[in-house]
Structure 1
Amino acid sequence: MPSLSEEERNLAKNVPAEDSAITMRQTIFYAQGGGQPSDTGTIGPVDQEPTFGVSLVRKTPDGRFLHFGKFLDATSSFVAGQPVVQKVEDSKRNYHSRLHTAGHIVGLAMQLLMPDKKKVKANHFPREASMEYEGLLYNEHKPVIQEKVDELVRLDLPILISWLEGVAQVGDGEGAEEGRTRIASIGGLDHNPCGGTHVARTGLVGSVVIRKISRQKGISRVSYDVSPGIEA
């Protein structure tokens, strides 16, 4: 990817050097950010089979979208301004959405059970999903958190997306966009700035499993997963 600037290459440090990058001003792909991995899928000419497999999407500081991946045919290419068709891999989008919503459910459970614990970090990546909090949590907290999470899933609460106008940043700024902030709410009980994808109701996440609780330097990590996974 020699044509990319150093700043753009830094957005894809783990992308193979032989991969290509397709730059667009608009995309239907979710770009990696906010603790959530990007969508994957394909891009191709209009009315033709897809010619490019997308493995990673990142958004540049100036608002462009870099679609990293490989051409499916060595003879394929695109030209500037060419109309294309984008297709997102539905199963992975749904899995990532379920993981992200599950993280918000864990966060709401913690808020209801231990409102004094401040969230410091969220990770919604597969096999790494976790919520981190200031202060110490112990193994005896695990079944208590699990019970509250199960209750919130069972209630099948709606996930609502709204925009807070005229506010450039809320909390850590996740979801901020051009003077407004995107808010994800769970049944009117929980409201968080969030730019990620979600399922429509808590019951659609499947089962949320609290895997373990770990501690390091005064920070407690609540690791979780959802079932069924991506293979289902």
Structure 2
Amino acid sequence: MTAPLFRTDPYLREAPSGVISHSDQGVVLAESLFYAQGGGQPGDSGRLVWDGGEMTVTNAVKGDGDDIVLVPAEGEALPPVGASVTQILDWDRRHAHMRVHTALHLLSVVIPLPVTGGAIGTEKGRLDFDMPEAPEDKEALEAELNALIARDLPVTEDWITDAELAANPGLVKTMSVKPPMGAGRVRLIRIGQVDEQVDLQPCGGTHVARTGEIGPVRLGKIEKKGKQNRRVNLHLAG
């Protein structure tokens, strides 16, 4: 089992750990600084350094059980099982994912429709909505979204039980990705104060601490993707 360091501190850029196993895809550490791809968010990249060696981490993926597998660059050697390593995160890439991911949560606030899909990149992201007709005023949506970002709202986490989530199905906005259940509790991401929250939904990804960190965004193309689906593209403006 890999302990997810990115969940307790998404701003951690470097951390030690030990190698507990190898897999067909790469190396498994006792603790992972690297987010494993899932929920539309790419896996992290970076480096592992140990006494006598170094490995480029090109991706992080989910392995058996709660393992996180760090995928090496082609042809690179893995650190031996039992070795102590230093994990070094590609921070600029991760931070861009955090900004885009949090912005997409706010996009689901200004467009309060069921989400049918999504993807996160370093400069842009997108959400697909169950939206039969395109919005009439994209500029007004963009202005509303940037106003929320500029409020510099806190982004925090909370936890509820599987049973509490089952009793509150309205918390789940995504139709295509179901929140991870079965461990007894589910992680929620809250934007805004508890008594004045803007958004609350299950999510396992990484996010900025305050919305002001996202910076200005712009809405790109709104594309038709099927009879009732519209894809809304979002770009970081700076």
**Equivalent residue number for residue 219 of structure 1:** 229
Query: Partners in 2 of 1:126 and 1:211 — Cα distance?
Result: 15
Instruction: For structure 2, list consecutive stretches of 5 or more residues without a partner in the other structure.
Output: 1-21
**Equivalent residue number for residue 28 of structure 2:** 23
For residue 204 of structure 2, give the secondary structure of its aligned residue in structure 1: coil
What displacement does 1:226 show? Answer: 1.0
The match for 2:187 among 182, 189, 208 is 182
What displacement does 1:142 show? Answer: 1.1
Query: Partners in 2 of 1:103 and 1:59 — Cα distance?
Result: 23
Query: Partners in 2 of 1:125 and 1:209 — Cα distance?
Result: 15
Q: 1:142 corresponds to which letter in structure 2?
A: K
The match for 1:197 among 206, 219, 225 is 206
1:157 to 2:153 alignment = yes
For residue 129 of structure 1, give the secondary structure of its aligned residue in structure 2: strand
TM-score, length of structure 1 as denominator length: 0.78
Q: 1:140 corresponds to which letter in structure 2?
A: E
Q: Is the 8 A contact 2:97 2:121 kept in 1?
A: yes
What displacement does 1:26 show? Answer: 2.7
TM-score, length of structure 2 as denominator length: 0.76
**Equivalent residue number for residue 80 of structure 2:** 79
Query: Partners in 2 of 1:177 and 1:98 — Cα distance?
Result: 29
Q: Is the 8 A contact 1:176 1:195 kept in 2?
A: no
Q: 1:69 corresponds to which letter in structure 2?
A: P
Matches within 5 A, 1:35-184: 35-45=40-50, 48=51, 51-70=54-73, 77-111=78-112, 117-126=113-122, 129-138=125-134, 140-167=136-163, 171=172, 172-176=177-181, 178-184=183-189
**Equivalent residue number for residue 216 of structure 2:** 207
**Equivalent residue number for residue 14 of structure 2:** none
Query: Partners in 2 of 1:203 and 1:49 — Cα distance?
Result: 42
Q: 1:63 corresponds to which letter in structure 2?
A: D
Give per-residue Cα distances to partners, 1:34-87, cap 9 Å, x unaligned: 110111111111xx5860110100012412111112389x6x652212121111
What displacement does 1:90 show? Answer: 1.2
What displacement does 1:227 show? Answer: 2.6
Q: 1:207 corresponds to which letter in structure 2?
A: P
| CA shift in 2, pair 1:127/1:154, >3 Å | closer
Q: 2:48 corresponds to which letter in structure 1?
A: I
For residue 40 of structure 2, give the secondary structure of its aligned residue in structure 1: coil
Query: Partners in 1 of 2:130 and 2:179 — Cα distance?
Result: 19
% identical aligned pairs: 26
Query: Partners in 2 of 1:179 and 1:102 — Cα distance?
Result: 28
Greater than 2 Å deviation, 4+ residue runs = 23-26, 125-128, 135-141, 165-177
Query: Partners in 1 of 2:225 and 2:66 — Cα distance?
Result: 36
Q: 1:32 corresponds to which letter in structure 2?
A: Q
Q: CA RMSD in A?
A: 2.5
For residue 96 of structure 2, give the secondary structure of its aligned residue in structure 1: helix
Count the aligned residue pairs: 203
